[in-house]
Amino acid sequence: MKKLILSTLVFSSAAVVSAQELTSPDNNLKLTFMLDSNGVPAYTLTYKDKTVVKPGRMGFIIKDGISLADGFEMTECDYDSVDTVWNTVWGQSSTVRDNHKEMFVSLTRKDNGLKMGIRFRLFNDGLGFRYEFPVQPSLRHFTIENEVTQFVLTGDHKAFWIPADYDTNEFQTTTSKLSEVFELSKGVIKNPPATNEPLPYPAVQTPLMLKSDDGLYINIHEAALIDFPGMHLNLDDENFVLSSHLTPDRNGDRGHIQTGSVSPWRTIVVSDDARDILASNLILNLNEPSKIEDTSWIKPIKYVGVWWEYFTGQGSTWAYSDEKDIVIGVTDYNKVKPNGHHGANTEHVKEYIDFAAEHGFDAVLVEGWNQGWEDNQAYLKEKIYSFTTPYPDFDVEYLSDYAAKKGVKIIMHHETTSSVIDYERQLHDAFKFMNKYGYEAVKTGYVGSIIPRSEHHDGQWMVNHYNYVAETAAKYHIMVDSHEAVRPTGLYRTYPNWLAQESARGTEYDSFNGNNPDHHTILPFTRLMGGPMDYTPGIFEGDLSVYGPNKAKLSTTLAKQLALYITMYSPFQMAADLKENYMKYPDAFQFIKDVAVDWDATYVLEAEPGDYITMARKERGADRWFVGAITDENARTATVSFDFLPKGKTYTATIYADGKNAHWLDNPKEYRIYTKKVTSKDKIEIPLACSGGAAISIE
């Protein structure tokens, strides 16, 4: 494959005819918006006088051949500023400060009068800008051919990247110079664009984390992805220009827009301290406030599930039968021969409910409860599952009553295998079924390609689908965790019932070909910038050969698995391992039982993407704190200073640390647990093993 050099559309810095400036509240960031003599719009951003992005073009080329990217004059420029604090329904902090300066420029094409607005918001931690398409007589609706937006970098930055792909984000992250992306991305792309050829130029997904040689941490993503295709980034690796690459639809179009609407925000979070990237609320602040008025029914969830046993190779199956010629809605399952090892059977689910009740978990996820799993890999039929018909050995009524008596919820599972049209047809009935049996949360799934639309997972059509499911679920008071969806963009502020998403490589990959030891030190800087991840941590038995044919091995120590409950933020947090493994290590399991899933405050103590993260969090509404520290393949010493604790009080810290000889590869399960009295003046050092970690609970 030959590399295609992207023609860089030019903005002429020498011929600037107008320049508008905006400064962040703390004056560290400066944005300049410019028009050159050809009416080409561009922006540039500096942080503490260092250039973050050089002048980069803005705008769109729309069908057929109409430019919203040059020929403009500025017809209006308004300024505004906001400094407010809003309350989160759940989150990493109970309140969020939204402190920004705003500039809105209205552009009009000199030749034909077409208008487009650009709204900039500058926070202390970065920039967001979006395009606004006003209603205008000569432009009622249009189709995007290309978005022109550029992020013009100052050099060959270190990048933490996954290759562009319209259908999946479940890649290992590569750390390399931008100039190395093209060579290294060969052969990695799983679901390339419609051509079934890898992109002929390097392209990566967002959130993209970058580090410049002069010490700037730069994160590029988007916020509030609504009725628009997801954005990937083309890379001109000679000039280090990233440019928007919108996910096309099945016809190659990149968005159908009706005027009177806005684009998602393009975001650049920046700092000279990596901790600020993790502490940023910029993406959340750029999303609209909750559309759900009564949020009292929305609650973070800590859960166990009939799940890991499907991945470990012990024979447990989602499917009830091994017969393949089953037709949903036609075949009578009572006449079908069961395979004898169906996971979601009543007795087995009861054991999970008992376990959850005994150990204080809120809920049990049950996958494989519904009809249709026998032929779910075929991807050929439009109707694959029923979301209202349990298998004959799953007594939904009995289990709902049983769970209710035990004070535990069952989490619904809707794997759609991307049969999305049929899922939408069944959606209301499926949610009514959930209401009837007392289910409050659903895990959805979009494995495979979109049937029968042939759309992409990250395209506008699917973006609208995910948002429609979250919005519809809210009407039924249902919380959502979506797997294989487009990566999140902070929409959980607007739909707080959308608790989590997967949208990256989670623990499931530890049972296939693995996750790298540095994976967990990168995800918070990339995937998690847009929202919580249902990573499913908590695997104690990391050597899957103990179960049989599966030879996979976890790439962390046991103590690091505990730390992930803090460093991998989610209000929907699983204890993913088998019950019997937790019973083998009840002292370590105590941390998972204790750890909170909702927070008043978060403190990033140490962080470097790809290397290490140490974080502390205060439980929402309680005087309990939890700390998580993790490292990559290199051992290190984490320093925890307790100055986040209230002054003048003594607390008991229980520390779960790697054992002296622990190592992720050959000795992951050696850990030690000890207690220590601490005050806000204390500072402790904890050795972390190679791909190790430490977790602390403080009361």
CB atoms within 10 A of CB 691: 28
Which of 16, 66, 262, 447 is close enough to bind ligand NOJ by CB under 6 A?
A: 447
Report the candidate in 534, 398, 545, 399 with the shortest Cα–Cα distance to residue 479: 534
Residues 6+ apart with CB under 8 A from 158: 175, 176, 177, 210, 211, 212
Query: Cβ closer to Ca ion: 263 or 516?
Result: 516
> Least separation, in Å, of the C-beta of 318 and ligand NOJ?
7
> Least separation, in Å, of the C-beta of 502 and Ca ion?
5
Q: How far apart are CA 385 and CA 168, in angstroms?
A: 22
Question: Taking a C-beta distance cutoff of 8 angstroms, is the pair 353, 369 a contact?
Answer: no
Q: Kindly state whether residue 449 participates in binding ligand NOJ, applying the rule CB under 6 A.
A: no
Q: How far apart are CA 36 and CA 662, in angstroms?
A: 60
Give burial (CB, 10 Å; 0-12/13-18/19+) of 286: buried
**Residue 167 binding target from Ca ion, ligand NOJ, none, CB below 5 to 8 Å by type:** none
Query: Cβ closer to ligand NOJ: 149 or 312?
Result: 312
Which contiguous run of DSSP H or E holds residue 358?
Answer: helix 346-359
Which of 147, 502, 632, 658 is close enough to bind ligand NOJ by CB under 6 A?
A: 502
Three-class HEC string of 27-72: CCEEEEEEEECCCCEEEEEEECCEEEEEEEECCEEECCCEEECCCE
Give the x-and-dash track for 469-488 against ligand NOJ (CB under 6 A).
Answer: --------------x-----
Query: Cβ closer to Ca ion: 67 or 482?
Result: 482
Q: Which two tokens stand for residue 548?
A: 């049989």
Q: Kindly state whether residue 275 participates in binding ligand NOJ, applying the rule CB under 6 A.
A: no
Q: How many residues bind Ca ion (CB under 5 A)?
A: 1
Which of 163, 255, 392, 445 is close enough to bind ligand NOJ by CB under 6 A?
A: 445
Give the x-and-dash track for 426-465 against Ca ion (CB under 5 A).
Answer: ----------------------------------------
Which contiguous run of DSSP H or E holds residue 352?
Answer: helix 346-359
Q: Please state, in angstroms and as integers, the Cα–Cα distance from residue 648 to each residue in 127, 446, 541, 639, 699, following that order.
A: 39, 51, 41, 21, 14
What SS3 class is residue 393?
A: coil
> Least separation, in Å, of the C-beta of 305 and ligand NOJ?
9
Query: Cβ closer to ligand NOJ: 93 or 426?
Result: 426
Give the x-and-dash track for 550-569 against ligand NOJ (CB under 6 A).
Answer: --------------------
Residue 692: phi and psi, rounded to 5, are -105, -175
Query: Cβ closer to Ca ion: 392 or 532?
Result: 532
Q: Which residue's C-beta sits nearest to ligand NOJ?
A: 415
- Residues 670-699 contacting ligand NOJ, CB under 6 A: none
> Least separation, in Å, of the C-beta of 301 and ligand NOJ?
15
Query: Cβ closer to Ca ion: 236 or 309?
Result: 309
Q: How far apart are the first and last CA of the chain?
A: 59
Query: Cβ closer to ligand NOJ: 245 or 342?
Result: 342
Q: Which two tokens stand for residue 529?
A: 């910038």
Q: How far apart are CA 476 and CA 440, in angstroms?
A: 9
Q: Kindly state whether residue 508 participates in binding ligand NOJ, applying the rule CB under 6 A.
A: yes
What SS3 class is residue 157?
A: coil
Q: Kindly state whether residue 611 participates in binding ligand NOJ, applying the rule CB under 6 A.
A: no
Q: Kindly state whether residue 518 participates in binding ligand NOJ, applying the rule CB under 6 A.
A: no
Q: Kindly state whether residue 459 participates in binding ligand NOJ, applying the rule CB under 6 A.
A: no
At 508, the amino acid letter reads: E
Q: Please state, in angstroms and as integers, the Cα–Cα distance from residue 621 to each residue in 93, 590, 625, following that order.
A: 11, 21, 11
Q: Please state, in angstroms and as integers, the Cα–Cα distance from residue 282 to each residue in 18, 128, 529, following that order.
A: 28, 8, 9
Query: Cβ closer to Ca ion: 157 or 483?
Result: 483
Q: What is the largest CA-CA distance in the chain?
A: 78
Q: Kindly state whether residue 598 participates in binding ligand NOJ, applying the rule CB under 6 A.
A: no
- Residues 55-114 contacting ligand NOJ, CB under 6 A: none
At 517, the amino acid letter reads: P
Instruction: Write down the catalytic residue from 170, 502, 508, 541.
Output: 508
Give the x-and-dash track for 336-375 against ligand NOJ (CB under 6 A).
Answer: -------------------------------x--------
At 236, the amino acid letter reads: D
Give the x-and-dash track for 289-318 against ligand NOJ (CB under 6 A).
Answer: ------------------x-----------
Report the candidate in 182, 179, 35 with the shortest Cα–Cα distance to residue 118: 35
Q: Please state, in angstroms and as integers, the Cα–Cα distance from residue 472 to each residue in 133, 274, 464, following that order.
A: 27, 38, 12
> Least separation, in Å, of the C-beta of 402 and ligand NOJ?
23
Query: Cβ closer to ligand NOJ: 416 or 567?
Result: 416
> Least separation, in Å, of the C-beta of 207 and ligand NOJ?
20
Sign of CA dihedral 389, 393, 395, 396: negative
Give the x-and-dash track for 172-201 against Ca ion (CB under 5 A).
Answer: ------------------------------
**Residue 632 binding target from Ca ion, ligand NOJ, none, CB below 5 to 8 Å by type:** none
**Residue 367 binding target from Ca ion, ligand NOJ, none, CB below 5 to 8 Å by type:** ligand NOJ
Q: Which two tokens stand for residue 563?
A: 């730390």
508 is catalytic: yes
**Residue 440 binding target from ligand NOJ, Ca ion, none, CB below 5 to 8 Å by type:** none
> Least separation, in Å, of the C-beta of 478 and ligand NOJ?
18
Q: How far apart are CA 378 and CA 417, in angstroms?
A: 9
- Residues 465-484 contacting Ca ion, CB under 5 A: 483
Question: Taking a C-beta distance cutoff of 8 angstroms, is the pair 228, 222 a contact?
Answer: no
Residue count of the chain? 699
Q: Which two tokens stand for residue 182?
A: 């093209």
Q: Kindly state whether residue 415 participates in binding ligand NOJ, applying the rule CB under 6 A.
A: yes
Query: Cβ closer to ligand NOJ: 259 or 416?
Result: 416
- Kindly list the catalytic residues: 508
**Residue ranges in contact with ligand NOJ by CB under 6 A:** 307, 367, 415, 445, 447, 483, 502, 508
**Residue ranges in contact with Ca ion by CB under 5 A:** 483
